[in-house]
A and B are shown apart, each in its own frame.
Chain A
Amino acid sequence: MKTIIITKGIEYRWLRDIFPGRHPLLVTLCNKPFIEFLIDFCILAGSTGIRIISDEVMSDVEKHCENGSRWGVEISYANLLPTDNVQKVIEKNSRFCSNERVMVINGLLFIHYDKRSDYRSFFASLPVGEVIECSNGNISLTGAASGAEHQEGAPPLSLPVVDGIDKYYRLAAGILHERLTHYVLPGYNNEPDCFIGRNVVLQKGVSVIKPVIIGNNVQILAGSIIGPGAIIGSNVIIDRESRVSESIVMDNTFIGEQLDVDRKIAEGSLLIDPESGCSLTMEDPHLLSGIKQPTTTGSALQWLAHRIAAAWMIMILLVPYLVIKPFLEWSGLLKTKKIVYHSVIPGENVSLTFASIEKKSVLGTIALFLSLDRFTWLFKVLNGHFALIGCRPVRTDQTIQAANNNLGLYRPGVFSYSEAEKWPENDIDSDIVDHYYAVHSNFIKDISMTQKALFNRINQESSI
């Protein structure tokens, strides 16, 4: 059997609003991402191939699940249009489905199942059609049944509706209190109702009251009380003498000392009361704050390479810029205006002089050849607001594409990846190119793309 998982952005908008910066399929429930629960279920149901289909960017999901070898299944990815229905999706993925039995999980569903039950023969024996549904979506089957008979009664299977933070909280609490044995959850589980991850430091006087789930790289400082009913994510610090009970502390969160987190969800500096839906962003970092993940070596190297290259270009171009610019201005070939763009630093803007040079004379040609219209932008690379090459900068009167913004892929550059490629004919093409390289760039690729962008600009008629 094969499985198609269809998710549409509109279905999980609420998750994006509450947990920005991560794909909703990677939002954790009891420290396990949503998508992993789905994959586990597909495997239990006898799937050997899973295709995850969405109308949004799934680069983070792809990075997380890769090709599925971790689970021993083949995972592939595909896109759909927001208007596509299930039938259309099956048609578009007919090669994947071939003539096999296909289970279609339509919607961002959480499935209540029990890992000890036999779903394989159950799903193989069911007739074509809908198996189960809820207001979030449904599970259906296509393709002929194998003919094998399911001997036992129907295994436990239900679809709880998860469409708000209160339901998310209740679902997590329900699993922790009643269904811990139904799922494969991360962490060591030497005794019932207690899952503890790697590199967990419990200082003197810490009490852990079951049921509890603790993620990886967690420090719980002296005198704290964790549980009952606490779900602590990974990379969390709980300062001394604090109490966390019946609460969820999401990944990368710091809980200050002597605090009482009861029936809450803490996500970075955001504290949510799931019952009322009220949320508060803390301004006191010693009470509640996010823990920043260290920049990866590759990323730091990439930024260093950009800065060195920008400094080198400034040195080379300074004299030509000072000599040629007055002549261009005098001859009317250079027109400038100030434009404010979104910076790479979230929430900050950067004001730049947008210069357009016409290639009507030798001087204009030389100026364009040397990219003097972008000369002043190079200084913004040095102060970290811009990359040397990246996506096209977005003006502050326009909004950054949600996908780029949420996934931290907005990295405006002095030169854009779309300038390095010759084929983009319109803004949509350029967005595709920019987005592709934003996901797949590294510093070596950036060097070659910068060279290509500089080379392509020589052939431009004007810099506009």
Chain B
Amino acid sequence: MIFQLDTSTKKTIGIAALQVRIDANNCNDLKKAFSHWLHYSPNIVFDCSGLEFIDSSGLGAIVSCLRRALELQGDLRLAGLGPKVSLIFELTKAKQLFSMYPDTSSAVASFSTVGSA
């Protein structure tokens, strides 16, 4: 997982590129890394363009990340979700919890417009 900071919108936004697969084997790594990323910014974008598979544990981990970001008055937004991963978000109604964007730049820009924390 690659993490970087974006300051182009006068706000510090963390962008994390998720790996190919998030499942029971690596969801705890994501949770740990997210705790670390929150030190830099409570506003984070997950770049899901490389994410090809997510199971319920992975989904749970992402929801837990969202909850922690919200607790710090921040937000977690998702960008570049592929059709397969979107199916899971739709099926489990997780789509209703997240703000989703077609790419990271629009997700980053969204923090300085509507709904920004």
- State the A residues within 8 Å of B (CB): 258-262, 264, 271, 273, 276, 278, 280, 283-284, 286-288
Q: Are the CB atoms of A259 and B91 closer together than 8 Å?
A: yes
The residues of B that contact A261 with a CB separation of less than 8 Å are 91
Q: Are the CB atoms of B56 and A284 closer together than 8 Å?
A: yes
Q: Are the CB atoms of B23 and A260 closer together than 8 Å?
A: no
- In-complex Cβ contact of B84 among A259, A260, A278 (8 A): A278
CA of A280 to CA of B92 in the docked complex: distance in angstroms?
14
**B71 in contact (CB, < 8 A):** no
Q: Are the CB atoms of B55 and A278 closer together than 8 Å?
A: no
Q: Are the CB atoms of A259 and B87 closer together than 8 Å?
A: no
**B51 in contact (CB, < 8 A):** no
**B88 in contact (CB, < 8 A):** yes
**B115 in contact (CB, < 8 A):** no
- In-complex Cβ contact of A273 among B55, B83, B92, B93 (8 A): B83
The residues of B that contact A288 with a CB separation of less than 8 Å are 91
Total A-B residue contacts, Cβ distance less than 8 Å: 34
CA of A287 to CA of B87 in the docked complex: distance in angstroms?
12
Closest chain B CB from A276 CB (angstroms): 6
Q: Are the CB atoms of A276 and B83 closer together than 8 Å?
A: yes
The residues of A that contact B93 with a CB separation of less than 8 Å are 258-260
A-facing residues in B65-117 (Cβ within 8 Å): 83-84, 87-88, 90-93
The residues of B that contact A280 with a CB separation of less than 8 Å are 84, 87-88
The residues of B that contact A278 with a CB separation of less than 8 Å are 83-84, 87
Q: Are the CB atoms of B83 and A287 closer together than 8 Å?
A: no
Using A260-B91, A280-B87 as known contacts, list a sample of 11 further A-B pairs with CB atoms less than 8 Å apart, ordered by residue number in A.
A259-B93, A260-B92, A261-B91, A264-B87, A273-B87, A283-B23, A283-B53, A283-B55, A284-B55, A287-B91, A288-B91
A278: nearest chain-B partner, CB-CB: B83
Q: Are the CB atoms of A262 and B55 closer together than 8 Å?
A: no
The residues of A that contact B55 with a CB separation of less than 8 Å are 283-284
B84: nearest chain-A partner, CB-CB: A280
A259: nearest chain-B partner, CB-CB: B91
Closest chain A CB from B53 CB (angstroms): 8
A262: nearest chain-B partner, CB-CB: B90
CA of A264 to CA of B92 in the docked complex: distance in angstroms?
13
CA of A262 to CA of B93 in the docked complex: distance in angstroms?
10
**Contacts A/B (CB < 8 Å), 25 sampled:** A258-B93, A259-B91, A260-B90, A260-B91, A260-B92, A260-B93, A261-B91, A262-B90, A271-B87, A271-B91, A273-B83, A273-B87, A276-B83, A278-B84, A278-B87, A280-B84, A280-B88, A283-B23, A283-B53, A283-B55, A284-B56, A286-B56, A287-B56, A287-B92, A288-B91
- State the B residues within 8 Å of A (CB): 23, 53, 55-56, 83-84, 87-88, 90-93
The residues of A that contact B53 with a CB separation of less than 8 Å are 283
CA of A10 to CA of B4 in the docked complex: distance in angstroms?
51
Closest chain A CB from B92 CB (angstroms): 6
Closest chain A CB from B7 CB (angstroms): 36
CA of A258 to CA of B92 in the docked complex: distance in angstroms?
7
Closest chain A CB from B63 CB (angstroms): 13
CA of A283 to CA of B23 in the docked complex: distance in angstroms?
10
Residue with the greatest number of chain B CB neighbours at <10 A, chosen from A276, A280, A287: A280
| In the complex, the 5 A-B pairs of residues with the closest C-beta atoms, listed nearest first | A278-B83, A284-B56, A280-B84, A280-B87, A260-B93
Closest chain B CB from A274 CB (angstroms): 12
B96: nearest chain-A partner, CB-CB: A260
B95: nearest chain-A partner, CB-CB: A260
CA of A362 to CA of B16 in the docked complex: distance in angstroms?
75
The residues of A that contact B90 with a CB separation of less than 8 Å are 260, 262
CA of A280 to CA of B86 in the docked complex: distance in angstroms?
10
Residue with the greatest number of chain A CB neighbours at <10 A, chosen from B56, B83, B87, B93: B87
The residues of B that contact A260 with a CB separation of less than 8 Å are 90-93
Closest chain B CB from A94 CB (angstroms): 51
B57: nearest chain-A partner, CB-CB: A284
Closest chain B CB from A334 CB (angstroms): 47
CA of A284 to CA of B54 in the docked complex: distance in angstroms?
10
CA of A261 to CA of B93 in the docked complex: distance in angstroms?
9
The residues of A that contact B84 with a CB separation of less than 8 Å are 278, 280
The residues of A that contact B92 with a CB separation of less than 8 Å are 258-260, 287
The residues of B that contact A286 with a CB separation of less than 8 Å are 56
The residues of A that contact B91 with a CB separation of less than 8 Å are 259-261, 264, 271, 287-288
A263: nearest chain-B partner, CB-CB: B90
CA of A259 to CA of B90 in the docked complex: distance in angstroms?
9
CA of A44 to CA of B55 in the docked complex: distance in angstroms?
49
The residues of B that contact A276 with a CB separation of less than 8 Å are 83
CA of A67 to CA of B54 in the docked complex: distance in angstroms?
48
The residues of A that contact B23 with a CB separation of less than 8 Å are 283
Closest chain A CB from B88 CB (angstroms): 7
The residues of B that contact A273 with a CB separation of less than 8 Å are 83, 87
The residues of B that contact A284 with a CB separation of less than 8 Å are 55-56
Closest chain A CB from B38 CB (angstroms): 28
Closest chain B CB from A254 CB (angstroms): 13
Closest chain B CB from A202 CB (angstroms): 22
Closest chain A CB from B41 CB (angstroms): 32
Closest chain A CB from B59 CB (angstroms): 9
